[in-house]
Amino acid sequence: MAFAITQNCCNDASCLSVCPVNCIHPTPDEPDFGKTELLYIDPRSCIDCGACADACPVDAITPVSRLTPEQSIYADINADYYKDKPTDPAWARPRFPAPAVSELRKIDVAIIGTGPAAYYTAQALLRLPRSRVTFYDRLKTVGGLARYGVAPDHLGTRRINEHFRSIFAHPRVSMKLGVEVGVDIDQQTLSERYDAVVYAVGAENDRPLDIPGLDLPGSISARTVVGWYNGHPDVAADAVDLTGVRSVTIIGNGNVALDAARILTADPDDLASTSISPHALAALRKNRVEEVVVLARRGPEFAAFTRSECKALLDRPHVDVVVAGSPETVSTIDALPPAAPASALRGADLVELGSPHSARRIVFAFGRAPLAVHGDNGVDSVLVGTEDDSRSISTELVLLAIGYRGTPSAGVPFDEHSGTINNVDGRVTNHDGTLVAGCYVVGWAKRGATGGIGDNKVDAELTVDALVEDLAARSPRRTRDWHRRLSASAKTLEDVVILDR
Ligand code: NAP
């Protein structure tokens, strides 16, 4: 019997470091890492110790024998990953991280933001015994997207906030909440006060879409809907008006689109015991959305959602999931490999956009680009087109879910093209390519708005490695000391660290 990793997997690889037999892959040094939907347990090598289940921050790991009927597919999904791979050596050589140079002295780092990227940055820094971290957040509540981005019905994923708490309460951590960098304190002051400043500010805007009508009432960002159902302090209780809304069209088919589609068509009684905001729950009880169209400009082979999120829509008894497109759309779905996200839609009925329906439904529309949003005083339709034709879909609410984009932080160079802080591998750079001393970036502000919570762990560790390396190089006294000690008696860097203690 083995354990299996299921839908909630956040990819942060906490399970990998505790597995005694190296049976969880891909590991951060394997090419697939960050590209697979989940991490996978090799049932051929798993010794059933359960260490990974204890370490998992989001409760995604379960013994195969205890998978629920809905989860049972994950036994195969885990095993499938290893189909054409050799069995691992049962007791792979353990790897120990090299002692960090900054153990030699105290370092004091400011982290701007308290979301997942900020958390993993602090976790890596606090492994250095004499480090201190000060978090700054313009909000008075910590957690960033882990608190205000994860859908309320994703109970397992939301549990990661409990893990975050241990870092925020760490004795070497200070919290400056309700303090906005750029308004209440500037980058110059921070750089004088701390050895390093790490920006973990995420991506707070939408990618732009240049079509007419997006400014009409009834056309809003999916980001607003996410903030609304999660009670984000910046999003007013009436920012989403569902009055009279029967049909919603979501532009884009990433996981944000699927989260919004699932919540808008959920049974409010199922949401009542979650952390959903009271105003969103009241609105969902009062108004019944009958149809959500998830609109993708490309075919199913390019679906941006993950298979597990798509599957979660299929398991609900009172909501039909159907496909709109050409007959080739169905054959493309049928030909997709099982691991492809849209393969989850195999067997779904093909319908016409706007066709009558009796049950609530989610329509995955493929190969139709949004051309315009129409209406007089508010949205009443969206014009969508293929290469050959265009048609109007009746809709009362349009949600833009085409991805997030960063916004500039005052005093920090910003790359308008990518919507990220200008950087090379986490080191902030000026536009002429020179380094901004002591300034770093992690997470979506560094690499753009892709990846889930756990993807930030390795990303943050790489930036912390760069930070530590730079601090070591910046201290002439310490560098001189190391050289002297190295040449005097020590043979290796490990020896130097021991000598210094
Ligand atoms: P995303 O995954 O980047 O998806 C963006 C979608 O917008 C794609 O379908 C894309 O289509 C479409 N799009 C982009 N530009 C467009 C345009 N000009 N016209 C029409 N469509 C356009 O973005 P996201 O949904 O915001 O998610 C961001 C990240 O957060 C993702 O990595 C996601 O997995 C993660 N996330 C995960 C979860 C979860 O695990 N539950 C929840 C939320 C978010 P093309 O492919 O054609 O460009």
The domain spanning residue 412 has which CATH number?
3.40.50.720
In a domain, 90, yes or no: no
Residues 290 and 141 in one domain: no
How far apart are the C-alpha atoms of 186 and 182, rounded to whole Å? 5
Phi and psi (nearest 5°) for 467? Answer: -60, -45
Residues 277 and 351 in one domain: yes
pTM: 0.85
Atom of ligand 1 nearest to the CA of 257: 25
Supply the pLDDT for residue 298.
Answer: 96
* Whether residue 482 has pLDDT greater than 80: no
Residues 342 and 451 in one domain: no
Q: Which of 48-52, 232-236, 296-300 has the lowest mean pLDDT?
A: 48-52
Atom of ligand 1 nearest to the CA of 302: 46
Residues 8 and 75 in one domain: yes
Residues 350 and 399 in one domain: yes
Average pLDDT over residues 382-390: 87
Residues 399 and 429 in one domain: no
* Whether residue 500 has pLDDT greater than 60: no
Supply the pLDDT for residue 90.
Answer: 43
Q: CA gyration radius for the chain? A: 25
In a domain, 93, yes or no: no
Supply the pLDDT for residue 476.
Answer: 54
How far apart are the C-alpha atoms of 443 and 124, rounded to whole Å? 14
- Centre of ligand 1 to C-alpha 408, Å, is 21
Domain range for 290 is 210-403
pLDDT digits (tens, 9 = 90+) for 436-448: 999 999 999 999 9
Nearest CA to ligand 1 atom 26: 403
CATH assignment at residue 21? 3.30.70.20
pLDDT band at 339 (very low <50, low <70, confident <90, very high): confident
Residues 249 and 365 in one domain: yes
CATH assignment at residue 267? 3.50.50.60
Residues 348 and 309 in one domain: yes
Neighbours of 218 (CB within 10 A): 20
Supply the pLDDT for residue 91.
Answer: 44
Peptide bond into 26 cis (omega under 30): yes
**Domain count for the chain:** 3
Residues 430 and 478 in one domain: yes
Only one residue has tokens 């762990």, namely: 457
In a domain, 185, yes or no: yes
How far apart are the C-alpha atoms of 252 and 69, rounded to whole Å? 31
Distances (CA, A) of 359 to 289, 291, 315, 319: 11, 9, 15, 7
Supply the pLDDT for residue 496.
Answer: 34
Is the CB of residue 145 below 6 angstroms from any atom belonging to ligand 1? no
Give me the DSSP letters along 335-357: HS-TTSGGGGGTTPPEE-TT---
Residues 458 and 473 in one domain: yes
- Centre of ligand 1 to C-alpha 304, Å, is 6
pLDDT band at 94 (very low <50, low <70, confident <90, very high): very low
Is the CB of residue 449 below 6 angstroms from any atom belonging to ligand 1? yes
Residues 395 and 322 in one domain: yes
Is the CB of residue 450 below 6 angstroms from any atom belonging to ligand 1? yes
Nearest CA to ligand 1 atom 2: 254
